[in-house]
Amino acid sequence: MLNFRHLAPTAIEFGAGKLEMLGELTAPHGGRVMLVTVPWEPALQPMFARAQASLEAARLSVVVYDQAVPNPTVESIDRGARIAQDEGVECVIGIGGGSTIDTAKGIAVAATHPGSVWDYMYFQPQQPTPLTLPIIAVTTTSGTGAHATRYAVITNSAIECKSAIAHDQVFPRAAIVDPELMLSLPAPLTASTAFDAFTHAFESYTNPGATPMTDLMTLEALRLLAENVETAVADGANLEARTNLAWADTLAGMSISNAGTTLPHAMGQPISGHFPHVAHGQSLAVVYPPFLRFTCEAAADKFTKVARLFEASVTDCGEAVEAIIAWMKRIGMYISLCDLNVPESGLGPVLKDCMDFPDVACNPRVPTEAEVMDLYREALTTANL
Ligand SMILES: [Fe+2]
């Protein structure tokens, strides 16, 4: 019997040219808005200027906070939150990749609650309340799904810990997914973010929390990724491939908010927490081959069904694992911890943080701590992968 909950409260405007709707979409949520971005380097300036112009055309007063950073930190978010308070900001807009959107989400919480944004991570006793400022997201990559999720991933540099807000209050009220904004994304970033979207769909599909709704969305996301990532990596200006990746990313983001991620996200997050130069997609790529081999037999039907989207002849787990690894090689995501300058001596604290993540227990095959350490060791060199 069907029995599930599905929550997807974000109003999504999807399609080429939709950036022009930013002012109109934002206006109902406040007259004074904060536009959160990375620094306005020349290549990004026209997009940010268009966003600002759209807001001003809707008669909104705009405060720009251009200090979003990759793997967003508590300091950058708390600083933005203080400015939002001082400036009387009523709505926070994130325009950029997942890090920028998560910065906007963190500011929306920290500007309206006592203490630091770190006090509202998923494991803390205090949680975001309806006081949280409305959030608008404009995504410029196709990977994190942040524009459609209830998560904001945040790093506490002082304790080298990467964790997350996980709360319905940080679902954006509205999101713009405009594939034209993604045309200039460089190939390595296209591959790394698309691989993140793949993991969201794959882990939601194989999660015990998967629902009939997430199964529909994740399988479609995986089909689109199998058919379009290589094209987008080879030809970044291909609008059709970019559009398909953006849709896959959106579907995968809505899926993780309802089904959740599994072991790879638990293993990957602390790698970036302790080694912040490692991008989220890279941290997942290094653990995927060992994870696939460790887990496949526990969910063989689903693993082989996914793998057949990448290689139609797959019949068993061994072939399924090889088909997915072959795809990772084709898109340049077959990498090891050594490739990323993460030494074996750094794995102890990474393992400890990994075991704290609830995602470990959501894996189709639940590993012991010793087994997770073995998987990290396998991830050290491509010779083992
Ligand atoms: Fe992710």
101 CA to centre of ligand 1 in angstroms:
13
Q: What phi and psi values does residue 161 have, to the nearest 5 degrees?
A: -125, 130
Mean of the pLDDT values across residues 7-34?
Answer: 98
The per-residue pLDDT of the chain, averaged, comes to 97
CB atoms within 10 A of CB 26: 28
4 CA to centre of ligand 1 in angstroms:
23
Tokens 């460089």 correspond to what residue?
186
| Torsion sign, CA atoms 118, 157, 275, 233 | positive
Cα–Cα distance for residue pair 337/380, rounded to 1 Å: 5
Strands (E), the chain: 11-14, 32-36, 61-65, 91-96, 135-139, 151-156, 161-166, 174-177
Cα–Cα distance for residue pair 314/84, rounded to 1 Å: 53
Would you call 97 helix, strand, or coil by DSSP?
A: coil
260 CA to centre of ligand 1 in angstroms:
10
197 CA to centre of ligand 1 in angstroms:
7
Relative to beta strand 91-96, strand 32-36 is: parallel
Mean of the pLDDT values across residues 69-78?
Answer: 96
Residue 1 has pLDDT above 90, yes or no: no
Mean of the pLDDT values across residues 186-196?
Answer: 96
**Helix (H) / strand (E) containing 272:** helix 263-274
Mean of the pLDDT values across residues 110-128?
Answer: 98
202 CA to centre of ligand 1 in angstroms:
11
256 CA to centre of ligand 1 in angstroms:
9
Mean of the pLDDT values across residues 47-55?
Answer: 96
334 Cβ contact partners less than 8 Å away, ≥ 6 residues apart: 285, 289, 325, 328, 382, 385
Would you call 207 helix, strand, or coil by DSSP?
A: coil
User: What's at 211, amino acid-wise?
Assistant: T
Residue 365 has pLDDT above 90, yes or no: yes
Using 50, 70 and 90 to split pLDDT, how confident is the model at 208? very high
57 CA to centre of ligand 1 in angstroms:
35
Residue 385 has pLDDT above 90, yes or no: no
What are the beta bridge partners of residue 32?
61
203 CA to centre of ligand 1 in angstroms:
10
Using 50, 70 and 90 to split pLDDT, how confident is the model at 110? very high
105 CA to centre of ligand 1 in angstroms:
16
Q: What is the pLDDT of residue 384?
A: 84
Q: In the structure encoding, which two tokens stand for residue 236, read together?
A: 């970044």
281 CA to centre of ligand 1 in angstroms:
7
Cα–Cα distance for residue pair 369/348, rounded to 1 Å: 11
Ion ligand 1 residues within 5 Å by Cβ: 196
**Helix (H) / strand (E) containing 271:** helix 263-274
Cα–Cα distance for residue pair 104/94, rounded to 1 Å: 5
Counting residues of the chain whose pLDDT is more than 90, the rounded percentage is: 98
Residue 49 has pLDDT above 90, yes or no: yes
Residue 383 has pLDDT above 90, yes or no: no
284 CA to centre of ligand 1 in angstroms:
8
Domains of the chain: residue spans and CATH: 11-181 (3.40.50.1970), 187-378 (1.20.1090.10)
370 Cβ contact partners less than 8 Å away, ≥ 6 residues apart: none
Q: What is the pLDDT of residue 164?
A: 96
What are the beta bridge partners of residue 359?
none
194 CA to centre of ligand 1 in angstroms:
10
pTM here? 0.96
Cα–Cα distance for residue pair 70/336, rounded to 1 Å: 21
HEC profile of 241-262: HHHHHHHHHHHHHHHHCCCCCC
16 CA to centre of ligand 1 in angstroms:
24
213 CA to centre of ligand 1 in angstroms:
20
What are the beta bridge partners of residue 61?
32
269 CA to centre of ligand 1 in angstroms:
8
